[in-house]
Structures are given as C-alpha cells and as structure tokens.
Structure 1
C-alpha cells in the first residue's frame, strides 16, 4: 500500500491543511481535530485506499488505518506543516463535582505512599515508645529522628500537594512549590501565630492561621498560578521572559494566596470538618452504619477522595479520625470476608480462582477493587452480604467511637493504625470490629451465594457457533504464572501452536459488544474483549513485541508462528498520553507466555472517564482458514481463547 496516496487524498477530503487544527495517532487511528467537519462526507473518506473506516468521537475525526497508521501519519506530515500538535480535542462538558473529585484524587493519589509511611512510623513510635513498650524514650536521639521522619510528610503536605497539583494542571511545578513553601516558612508561621495583627505593605490585613499540614490552600494556590502563568506569558516580552515572567508569577500568586486563598482554603477545610463532626455527633452509630454500608459504592464513584483531605486534617488536629478510616476498615474487611465466602461456596473453578486472590488483596492490602468488580458486585448477593456486615460493624464502630491515629488503607496488616497514643482499648475495639465484619460477611455470603455449576455457562455466549477452546495445560499455566510473578523470560513452555492465551484477567465479552465501531465491526480483525479486573497485560504467546505506542495504551505483538495480535487497553485512552500506564517491555523485545507486558491503573483510568474494556484482536485473520474463540465469561490469565488453523 502506498500511503503517500492515502495521505494526499485524506488532506483533500478533510478540507485541506487549513481545516486541520491538529493531528495525533494511536495504535490504529489517525485522530484529526478539524476546524469545521460539517462538510466532510464519511462515506467518501471511508473509500480512500488504505482507510478502513471513520469515527466521530469526543470532538475528533478519527480515521481508522490499522497496523500501518504510523506510516500514514508520517506521509501526512511530509506533506503538511503540522505534526503531533499540542492541541487536543475539545472536552465535553463535565459535572463540576466530578471534575473537583478527579482533581483532588489526582493531587492526593501520588503522595499516599509518603503519607502512609509517615503515619505508620508514628504508630511504631507509639508501640515502641514510652506509651506502650517503653523501648525508646521520647527525648532519645533515635526517637527524635524517627519522629521527624514520621512528621515530615504531614508537615510538608502543602509542598507535596502543590507539586502534584501542578503536574495535574500542567503548570510550572517549581513555582507552585515555591508559593506553597512560603505558607510553612518558619518565620511566617511565627508571624501568623502571634497576637499582633499582621499587615502587608502596612495596609492589607493578613489572616492569622497555621498552614502546615493543610491541603486546600495549596490546591487553590496552584490553580491560581496556572492562570497567572498563562496571563503573564501573554503580556511579557520575549526578551524578558526568563527573569520577569517567574518574578511576576510568584509575586502575584504568593500575595493573593497569602491574603485571600490560604485563609479561604482554611475556612473551607474547617467548615467541612465541622459538617462531618456535626453529622457524627448527632448519632455516631447511625452515621457510621450508613457510611460503612455505603462505602463500596462511595469507592466505586470516587467520592471517597472528597473525604480524604478532611481525614488528613483530622489526623493532624485533633490527632485522630473518626469516620473515613473506621468505615473503610469495616468495608474492606467485609469485602474480603464475602469474597472468601464465595470461594468456599462456589463450584465454579474460575470464580474460585478469581475470588481467593481478590480476597487476599482486600484482607492484607485493603485493595478491594478485584473483590468488588470480579466477585461481589458481579454476583450481587455477596455484595449485599458485604454491605450488611459492613453496616453492622460500622454501627459498633460508632457506638465505641473507634478512632484511627494514622493514615493507611485499613486492612489486617495496617490495623496498628488504630493503636492510641495513650494505649487504651481502641485497638481492641478495632480487632473486634474487624472480626465481626469478616466473619459476618463470610457467613452471609456463604449462605446467600448459589453454588452454581459454572459462572461462565450461566452468562452464556453471544454467538451460538463460538466454541470453547480450553486452557493452558496445568504445568504450562503454573509456569506462566510463576514466570510472570518473578519477571523471568523464556522460562515457560511455548504453548500450543497457533493459539492465543488470555492476556488479561476479567470478564470476556464478544467484540461486537465493544462501544467502538472500529472494533465491534471487526474492520481491524477478529477476536474478543476483556473487562479487566486486574490492571495487567501478560504475553498471550511466545514471540516478539512488534509495536508499543508512545502513550503505552496499546501493543502490537507477533507470535513465533506468525499470529499478529493487537491489544488495545481501554477506549480512547490515547488521550491520557501515557498517564496511568507502565510498560514492562519495548518494541523488539522477546516475550514468553505469561510475561508481564504492561501494567495500568484501572481505577485511575476509569476515574478520568475512560472505559478500560480491552479489545484483543487478531489482525491477520485472513491468513487462516479456521478460527475458534472461547466463550464469554470470567476468565483468568492464560486461558486458551483463540485457536487457529492454516
């Protein structure tokens, strides 16, 4: 195919270079942003040699090329004077609440490891310090050093928030950090902590407040900085940008932040805390019963991020948190118990294989998404069991005023976060609540879950002619799993010839059910799609990585026996520009069955509004006389999904 002809005709049919605002590409498509697409005839564009189809979505005019999209993209850029422009498609209007939650989650998620580490160090000091075991004295060198290590993530929270917010908003990170650092500068803390009124330039009053460990002031300051940066860039002459632009940005943003935004942020934060405390104090047992029972759905919608800033503020002052973390202890434990209940009751081998690791993840790490999406929500009754158990455990937590003293994802291994500085019975209450939630959810799920013969069979198939092709032999599957866990290569059996083994764990659906015409119409090839329960892609055969997109959302693989496979994680996820994707291989790498090729943050991608359903498409299907695809349903890594005959 001569893609120079395709490129010329595309430019002509799309209104010429003057009508094209920007052009990018993903694994299979050219993505045009057109100034005016009203006169474009999709049928005419679709008949251009080399074009497989067209799609209008999200403000983009998408031209489906297939595996040779890069060649066509290069040919267009040799003719026209634009490339991968920075401009992107116009975004659809979004709910302001969702935008705010997404922004908060984007700012908070990256700093959680530091917060968790600092919180658990503080807990260890409680255990080994003078409060409990007395191994260390509070005036000892070791205690003081470790205490500083534990306090640092909380004290410098505004600085970390400014950095993550600036990355989220795509503004200058170091200018944002400079403004946030001002809020916790020691001399300023002393000035704003005195009884004497403070005036800027002798006339502008400055509100006295403490901003160490604050969150909202730094977020507001960084939002302001983004727009100040844009405005200053427009008015600053080119010869002065290097020195005048950063000076004006820091000066304006710093002053407005100190005088207006920081006090406003403090008022908002304190107001939210007052509302939460008021609800809790009215009827703590009722508030916790409802909150804990609803927690799975709060997590699914991402609303738990809205409570995170106030939880961190509470851990700083008064030093404990009463709602979010105790409710998550109840909910996470209930999800684990319900999932284990399903594993013990079901006769479906695949469901059991999914439920056991999902339950372990919820129990030991507090990661409940595999349990919720793969087991409890899917089967419905176990989710009811988990909500009932979590609500009852929450009721008990409200009655005993359970408190968390450190920020960590509540689970069995992090239960020390409920150890009180003065000892006491708080940790005993936490253990009792943990046991109630786990045992009750296990028993209820075991009783309520149908044994079922086979979950996959119950879900059926969209095509009566589709045949089940089986699974890797036990030895091969075990070796593949081991190799994937250890990161080893070339250590597993090659598998059957002309066979594709499932690269993602989750629910398999027919390709026709994918909400994207390029895949559902099978113009790119035939295959199936997976709604992943785990953010990981493994090698479906032994072969070579032919292509991996710069944005890491899609891979092109070729097997040793010539199968060409496209794995496209999510729909329209090229817009994320690689965010939330971590490739483990590069183009040209050798792969063996079960090798980890790509990891992705499923929850973060979905929180940004994108589907994670992943098409797995054989693009050279015409090279084979027969193709069999496994039935839809819950599938594990390594299950035999496509078999071919020449």
Structure 2
C-alpha cells in the first residue's frame, strides 16, 4: 500500500521540533538530511517510531532520516511545506574539534550526495560504451562511441562546476558566482595554460607563481573554493555601497575569489585529495586482499554513520587517473548483496507478514539495484543478529573479491544490474569472479542469518501501537528445528 508521504513528512517535521527548528534539509538516494538549530527540541523516539522511517542517524546538529528508495517523494512533500533552508539564518555554533570534524564531513556529504545520480549515470554510459566497443557493435573510434564517451564523461569533466553549484546551496552563497569561478578552472584556455605549466613553462598571475594543476574530475578544490566564496561574498557585501551593489559587488567577489582559487585553494585542494587517495591505496598496497575484506566487513557500519560518502572523491579520482578502482568498490559487492541475502533469510523465517514484505522489498533493492539501506535499516539493524551475519559475510566475500583482483570501472552501487562495471575486457575470468562473489554473498549471508537466528517481531507490534509490545519470539537457529 503506497504511503502518504505528505503525512510522513509532517510527522517528521513535528518530531524535529517544527519548521522553525530546521536550518536546512537535503536528500541523497535514501535519506533526508536535516540540520537542526536546537537538538534538544528533537524527539528521537517519536521520530524513529514514524511509519515510513526506517532509521535515524544523528550527530550534533545533523539528523539523517532514512526513508528508502522513495526518499524523493518525502523530500517533495517537505518542499511543499516550505523551505526552511531558504528562509533561515545560519546559527553560530561553538567551535570544537568535534564540531569541525562533523562540519567537514557534513559539507562533503551534503555537497556530494545530490551529485551521485549524475555521477552514476555518467559512469554507466561510459560502461555501456566500453561494452559496445568490446562486442564490436561499432567500429573502433566510431563517432557513436566517441559521443557516448563524451556523454558519460560530462559529469566527470565538469565535476568542479557541479560541486560548486551543490556547495553553493550547502553554504548559502550565490550559485551563479560559484559556477562562474569553478568554470575558470575547466576553461579550455586555462587547461591549456596548466598543461604548459606542467611542462615547465613559467605561469604567473600578478607576479605570483601558479602551480600546474589539472582540475577536471576533482572535488575538493571547488568545494573549498565555494566555502571561501561564501565568506568573501558576505565581506564584500558589507563594504560596498548600496548604489554600487549591482555591478561592483559581483566584480569584486570574482576578482578576489577566482585568483585565490587559482593560486592557493586549488593547489591545496588537489594536495588534500591526492593525499587522501594515496593514504587509502597505500593501505591497499600493503594489505592487498585483506584491505578489501576489512572494508567489506565495516561498510554497513560506514553507511550507518554516513562516512561511506567520504570515499566518493577518492573513487572518482582513482578511476579518472587509472581507469579502475580496486579496494572500496569491490568490497561493496559482498556488503550490499549480503544485506540482501540476510533480508531474504528474514523473509523466509519471520511469521510477521509486514516484516516479510519489508524484507523481500529490501532484498530486491540490495541484490538487484545495489541500494542496501532499506535492508540495512529496515531489517539488519532492526533485528541486530542479521547485521552480525552481514558483517561476517562481507569480510569473507570482500576477501574473495580482493583475491580475485576485482576492480570497478564505474562507481554505481554494486548490484545485479551494475555488476558489469567489474568486468575486465582483458581478463574474461573477472566475469567468473564477479558471479562467484555475488552468489557467495547471498548464500552465505542467508545461511549465517538462519544459523544465528533473530528476535522476530510479533504481528501486534506492526498492527497497533496502543497496546504494550508483546514479548518477542525467538527465531531459533536453523539447526535447532
């Protein structure tokens, strides 16, 4: 039965303390992401109990409400209620190491989450072009393949511009100015100038040396640049007379922000991004398949905290530089499909009809589309023991994926339909390895979930909230029946 997301959204807003307590709201593929002004006004037990809410993750003033695959409908209903982000003034908060870390993570996740559909879409189009080329459907170098690759590459080549636009919403600054400044970094003349600088030619701006940097396919420079722009815009607004704001204010902002981005922010951002990538893949270089196994085991926990989005820039940069990514993406195969297999086991064993429907839908989402959060929050976290089964299965399947040397040519969430991203044209055995890991993930997590058992949810819990909850029924391990 379709949910009324207008009612769900109203209930969420009420539990968060009302529209006046919401500073900003965005959404990713499965979550509504709120920034609240006063966390003490949030009723978390009430929020978690709302029908249609699969789970809640909160940290300081950040509150993530997991809706599932229909999150866009809930977001549209929220927009119909009014946009808190558009009318609210940012609240000054106490600066601590914890708040700085949370702020950086929130900025990165809040900026990148809206861009994921475009990145996945581009990745899959490039993958389609590769498959068509492998199959010989078109001649090598044909205009059709070139155009398909250009279509797929658009989101990556102009990623700094997309990041700037998304970050402008996040930091509440002028989007057109952010896009214009980011556009400088991917302007053909500037790209040509940076290529000459890389070859040793001296490049200066107002007698200040400019570091040779390639900005296409990058995230951090545009993100940091837009944050700086938000402060520059407020500063310039204070010093410019009202009569000159229409022309002097934007000119000063661009003249201040663009050179800072080119001379300082851009190179620092590239160094930060490269440093993070180097650290991640140095660990992979030392630990090999074990690093993939560890990542497969902890991936559901990273998703629960929202930390999984931290790896998005690293994956993008690695694929752009090497054409593939062999640590994070392969680990997701076992993690995602294990959640699907565990949900199938719950659907098989539970006596609760509503839980069975939820588990079946969550399993299909995780196995077929690679969207694992309905299974994670609707089943695994809710019942606890299935989560343990998924962590064990994720480790074992990650190890197999690492031993098989699997690597992704795209960054779509791994599932049945997106498994082609792991096929290596030079290694036909990669198809066998991918199939083996996927089957092992589903079967192993299914069996482990039955062996560990779980506390079933009685029908009364799903059908009424007026009566006290009944004592949960223990679903025993498979070998005890």
TM-score, normalized by the shorter chain, greater than 0.5? yes
Higher-RCO chain (CA-CA 8 Å, sequence separation at least 6): 2
1:387 aligned to 2:362?
no
Quick one: distance in 2 between partners of 1:138 and 1:234?
58
Quick one: distance in 1 between partners of 2:187 and 2:334?
39
Could you tell which deviates more after superposition, 97-106 or 236-245? 97-106
Specify the SS of the correspondent of 2:203.
strand
Q: 1:312-356, CA deviations, whole angstroms, 9 ceiling, x for partnerless residues?
A: 111101111112211111100000001101111223333212211
Structure with the higher strand share, 1 or 2: 1
Alignment of 1:56-205 (within 5 A): 57-58=38-39, 86-87=88-89, 90-91=92-93, 95-129=99-133, 132-194=134-196, 195-201=199-205, 203-205=207-209
Quick one: distance in 1 between partners of 2:184 and 2:272?
20
Quote how far apart the aligned CAs of 1:99 are: 1.7
In structure 1, the residue matched to 2:458 is 455
Quick one: distance in 2 between partners of 1:412 and 1:399?
21
In structure 1, the residue matched to 2:74 is none
In structure 2, the residue matched to 1:499 is none
Specify the SS of the correspondent of 2:209.
strand
Quick one: distance in 2 between partners of 1:30 and 1:144?
48
Q: 1:449-490, CA deviations, whole angstroms, 9 ceiling, x for partnerless residues?
A: 2585x5356x7xxxxxxxx9x6xxxxxxxxxxxxxxxxxxxx
Quote how far apart the aligned CAs of 1:138 are: 3.1
* Higher radius of gyration, 1 or 2: 1
Judge conservation of contact 1:365–1:411 (CA < 8 Å) in 2: yes
1:268 aligned to 2:265?
no
Q: 1:55-86, CA deviations, whole angstroms, 9 ceiling, x for partnerless residues?
A: x95598xxxxxxxxxxxxxxxxxxxxxxx974
Aligned structure 1 segments of 4 or more residues deviating by more than 6 angstroms: 25-30
Q: Identify if the C-alpha distance between structure 1 residues 184 and 450 changes in structure 2 by more than 3 Å, giving closer, same or farther.
A: closer
TM value normalised by structure 2: 0.77
Quick one: distance in 2 between partners of 1:85 and 1:289?
46
Quick one: distance in 2 between partners of 1:435 and 1:231?
57
Quote how far apart the aligned CAs of 1:424 are: 3.4
Judge conservation of contact 2:292–2:328 (CA < 8 Å) in 1: no
Alignment counterpart, residue 325 of structure 2, candidates 310, 321, 331: 321
In structure 2, the residue matched to 1:370 is 374
Judge conservation of contact 2:404–2:433 (CA < 8 Å) in 1: yes
TM value normalised by structure 1: 0.58
Structure with the higher helix share, 1 or 2: 2
Quick one: distance in 2 between partners of 1:239 and 1:413?
57
Q: 1:577-617, CA deviations, whole angstroms, 9 ceiling, x for partnerless residues?
A: xxxxxxxxxxxxxxxxxxxxxxxxxxxxxxxxxxxxxxxxx
Q: Identify if the C-alpha distance between structure 1 residues 86 and 449 changes in structure 2 by more than 3 Å, giving closer, same or farther.
A: closer
Quote how far apart the aligned CAs of 1:633 are: 8.2
Q: Identify if the C-alpha distance between structure 1 residues 385 and 412 changes in structure 2 by more than 3 Å, giving closer, same or farther.
A: same
Alignment of 1:177-576 (within 5 A): 177-194=179-196, 195-201=199-205, 203-422=207-426, 424-450=428-454, 452=456, 454-455=457-458
Q: Across the two proteins, how many residue pairs are aligned to each other? A: 397
Specify the SS of the correspondent of 2:414.
coil
